[in-house]
Structure formats: structure tokens, C-alpha cells
Amino acid sequence: MAPPPPNANAAAAPSVSVSPLMLAVTGFSTFSDRLLEFFNQWDSFIRHATAISDELCALSTPAPVPVVEPEPSPESAPVPNPVPAAEPVPAPGPSQPGEPKPNGGGDDPSAEHMGRICERMGSGSLLRFVISRLGDLPWLLRTVPAALPRAPNPAELVLRAIGRFYIRARSKNTEAACELLLLSYVRAGCPLRPGREVADDELRAEAREAALSWRSRLVRSKGRVADAAANDARGLILLMAAFGVPVEFPSQEIYELLHAGGGLACAEVLKCSKLFVDKLRDVVADMLDKGIYHQTVATIVAFELQDAFPLSTLATCVIDRIGCTRI
């Protein structure tokens, strides 16, 4: 008599019992991989944020403006006449006695002299004065922001002083002086004509044209804005911080300029421009939408934008993004 056939249900039981276990092991392995990748991403965020924080704490002044030894006879500035010889205050020089005061008080003749240049809107005289004192950069960084608000129209004074140096600077000294004027104007809070909340329409149109012309030159010479030299990128960022970002300027390029020019190192200065910080919020949102997290997190920390972009929310986005890429 033949033995009875084996029970089919009994034979299938082992495979049924093993399948859920294998699924659980596989699921746990996938979750472990995703969690490990998240921690790697988060550690990278923390390193970037710590580096930026350390750099900001170490900086007592903004990113230094490149200084070149003064030339024997600097070329003439937009205003043909030099500083008037009849001025009762002695001509500025690096050997002025006494510690200059940041408020441009009477104890510092050079600071008072600069203040009077601003009061009479002497754009060419102001540029030549700054060039003559480039050897004393700390003094300029203290004194120029305090002197600019004494002008009847500080925005026009600065824009006229820098002229069209962004197309072709007459010398390295001129380029350094123009950059310092822009930085000082932003640091002073971008002061306007008394009683005005926005710059004159004509002035804003001129600044917009300057920013777009500068961008066009970078694209023609470098192929793209991201490859701009640090001084070019920094100068253009300062110009837009001072007078506003043209609506035609792509967010991606603002982001690239900020990092190419070392903008995070002078974030304390750029934060003085409400126009720029408001635009930067849109730029950061656009970069996060594109999945660019590392340098964007550094930007958020440097400009203290955590209220609009909480790091905990960014961590959740990273986890979700990693999960989507794993599926």
C-alpha cells in the first residue's frame, strides 16, 4: 500500500513563516541606510554652520578691501578740481596725530574734513580722499559710514563717487576705494535723502542699469556669473545691497555671487540692508526648492534667517528627499 501524499499546507508553512521575517529584515535595513544617510547630511550641515559661526565671530571688521600702495599721481576723478586749497582743515594724510574718532568729531580734523566733503556733495573729492587714506583701512571703516549721512543725499553722493568703475576701473586703488564706499554706505544703513523712504526714481533706475551692466560684463568675460572673480562678485553684491536687486536678476545668480564673493564673511554688513535681506529670503526659498541644502544652510545661519527657515524643518525635508531617492 502506497504511503499517503504529503500535506501541501504543511509543506508551504515554512515558506509562509519565513517571508514576513525577511520583509522585516529588509525594511529595517532600508530604514537604517536612510537614517545613516540623514545623519551624514546633518553632520555636514552642522560643520558648515559651525564654520560660518566661527568665521563671523573671528571677524572684527568686514572682509578687507584689497589695498594697493598709493600711486605717485592718481588719475583725476569725475570732478576736475582737487580738494580746495583754501579749506581751513589740514589736508588728510596717514600721519595725522591722535586717534581718529568714528563720529567725525572736531578732535579728528581728517574726519571733519570728510564730513564737510559729504555735506557739499563732493563725489570726486570724496573718492580722492578715500584713495589717499587706503593705507589706513581701519580708520576708513570707522569714519566713512559716520560721514556719509551728513550728505544732503547720501545715495546720490555714493553713486556719483563710484561712477562706472565696474566697467573698467582706472586703477586698483580706485576699485578698492569704490568698493569701500559701497560697503560703508551699506554699513551706515543705506541712508537716503531726509524725509524719503525710497531712493529717487532716477537714482534707482541708474543703479539698476549699473547692476545689469556689471552682470553682462561678467557673463561676457567669464561665461557665467558663478565664475566671477571674488572682488567682482563682492562689488556687485554690495552695489545691489546698497541700491536694490533688479527684478531681472535671477535668484540662482544672486546665490552664486554671494558665495563667489565671500558674502557670508561680511554678512554683518549686508544685514544692514533691508532691501537685500528681503530679497535673500526669496533666494534661499528658491535654492531649497531646488534641493541645494549645504551652502543654503550656511547662508541661513550667517544671515540669521532661522525664523523663516527652521533647521528642524530642513532636516525633515532632507529625510523625505532621501526616502524618495531610495524608492
Q: Rounded CA gap, 133 and 316, in Å?
A: 51
Output the pLDDT for position 263.
81
The low-confidence residues of the chain, meaning pLDDT below 70, are 1-107, 169, 320-327
Tens digit of pLDDT for each residue in 247-292?
999 999 999 999 888 888 889 999 999 999 999 999 999 998 888 8
Q: Exposure of 184 by Cβ count < 10 A (0-12 exposed, 13-18 middle, 19+ buried)?
A: buried
Output the pLDDT for position 178.
95
SS3 call for 271? coil
Output the pLDDT for position 47.
66
Q: Which residue has the cell 544685514?
A: 271
75-78 — which CB contacts under 8 Å span 24+ positions?
A: 75/170, 75/171, 75/174, 77/123, 77/124, 77/125, 77/127, 77/128, 78/123, 78/124, 78/127, 78/160, 78/161, 78/163
225 touches 256 (CB < 8 A):
yes
- pTM for this model (two decimals): 0.67
Q: Rounded CA gap, 102 and 86, in Å?
A: 25
15 touches 225 (CB < 8 A):
no
Output the pLDDT for position 313.
82
Q: Is the dihedral of CA 288, 294, 296, 300 positive or negative?
A: positive
Residue 284 C-alpha from the chain's centroid: 12
Listed by start position, the domains of the chain span: 48-192, 199-327
Joined together, the cell numbers standing for residue 268 give 554683518
Tens digit of pLDDT for each residue in 189-231?
999 988 888 888 899 999 999 999 999 999 998 899 999 999 9
SS3 call for 289? helix
Output the pLDDT for position 7.
53
**Cα Rg of the chain, angstroms:** 29
Output the pLDDT for position 292.
85
232 touches 266 (CB < 8 A):
no
